[in-house]
A and B are shown apart, each in its own frame.
Chain A
């Protein structure tokens, strides 16, 4: 039990330590820092935000985000600052350009396609059964008896 408590204490210390590196006077700025470090992608790692990565470049970027916030940069300005250096890749939300058009329009196109198919189905007249076909079916039924 004592061992467990000690472990728990150590873990909570570790969590605190990670928190303490960046001090903010303004809780709003702190929240912005956290959102930004979650929405910026670490360029070295495959699909990790800079908040989740311990790569050197992610640490450097976090530090830079902190410094820029202290200098009064807005959220968009910081995103642009990083994009200018690491490209669109660095921000999790891809921009709308010819290259990503399909990505953005894909879901809408899909919905339109399905709607189109549904409407065509509905407008199609029910299967027409003329008398000759009916007679044939009758005959088969008779034969099966």
Chain B
């Protein structure tokens, strides 16, 4: 009896540790739940990146399902997702860009606004333009309020202006199918039903 337990106990411990470590192999260290989920988009008042006179607030997310995509021309991975996002736009998904500039350090300030606009035009001309418009997060204040850790990141925002998904990293076909599509379909189904009931 004692011998058996002496044999079984280490084996059991070994199995436990193995299972624990095996799990670690498949877990994504950057994956974490956004603390903003199911809460409203924080208040902001920021200009359009192409035109200072247009100022956006949280009301731009009202009554529409929106993908809010955090990006910059300096960001390499963002360039990879632009063609796929453009495809999504062609399928009718509304995508709003949250643009921020890495070089535009509030302490120093390096790149001119003119240069930024030229770079954006060039990049979107080359790879496709998925954006309905781009909000310019000059001081990265909205990014901070949204818990953005870098670029690219994408939020799915519901018609009530609630954050429903927060994805860190690029959105490609696999991510879209696994993470976004079902929620997006469910939401647009609900929106359709509401429209019909109003009629």
Contact = CB atoms under 8 A, between A and B. Distances in A.
Interface of A: 21, 43-44, 46, 55-57, 59-61, 63-64, 83-89
A87 B150 contact: no
Contact of B144 (A21, A61, A87, A89): A61
A57 B148 contact: yes
A43 B35 contact: no
A85 B150 contact: no
B92 interface: no
Given A44-B149, A57-B148, A87 B102 contact: no
Contact of B32 (A21, A60, A84, A87): A87
Interface string B145-165: 111111000000000000000
A64 B107 CA distance: 12
B106 A56 contact: no
Contacts of B36: 85
A47 B107 CA distance: 26
A46 B32 CA distance: 12
A84 B149 contact: no
A59 B148 CA distance: 13
B40 to A, nearest CB: 13
Given A56-B102, A64-B144, A86 B35 contact: yes
A21 B35 contact: no
A60 to B, nearest CB: 5
Contacts of A60: 140, 143-144
A142 to B, nearest CB: 29
Interface residues of B, number: 19
Given A46-B29, A56-B102, A63-B106, A87 B147 contact: yes
B34 interface: yes
A127 B32 CA distance: 55
Contact of A85 (B32, B105, B140, B144): B144
Contact of B149 (A21, A57, A83): A57
Contacts of A89: 32
B147 A43 contact: yes
A144 B149 CA distance: 77
11 contacts: A43-B147, A44-B150, A46-B29, A56-B140, A59-B105, A60-B140, A60-B144, A63-B106, A83-B35, A87-B34, A89-B32
Interface of B: 29, 32-36, 102, 105-107, 140, 143-150
Interface of A: prevailing SS: helix
Nearest to A85: B147
Q: Ordered nearest first, which 6 A-B pairs have the shortest CB separation?
A: A87-B35, A43-B149, A85-B147, A44-B149, A86-B147, A44-B150
Given A85-B144, A85-B145, A21 B150 contact: no
A64 B105 CA distance: 13
A16 to B, nearest CB: 16
A85 B149 contact: no
A64 B147 CA distance: 13
Nearest to B146: A85
A57 B29 CA distance: 17
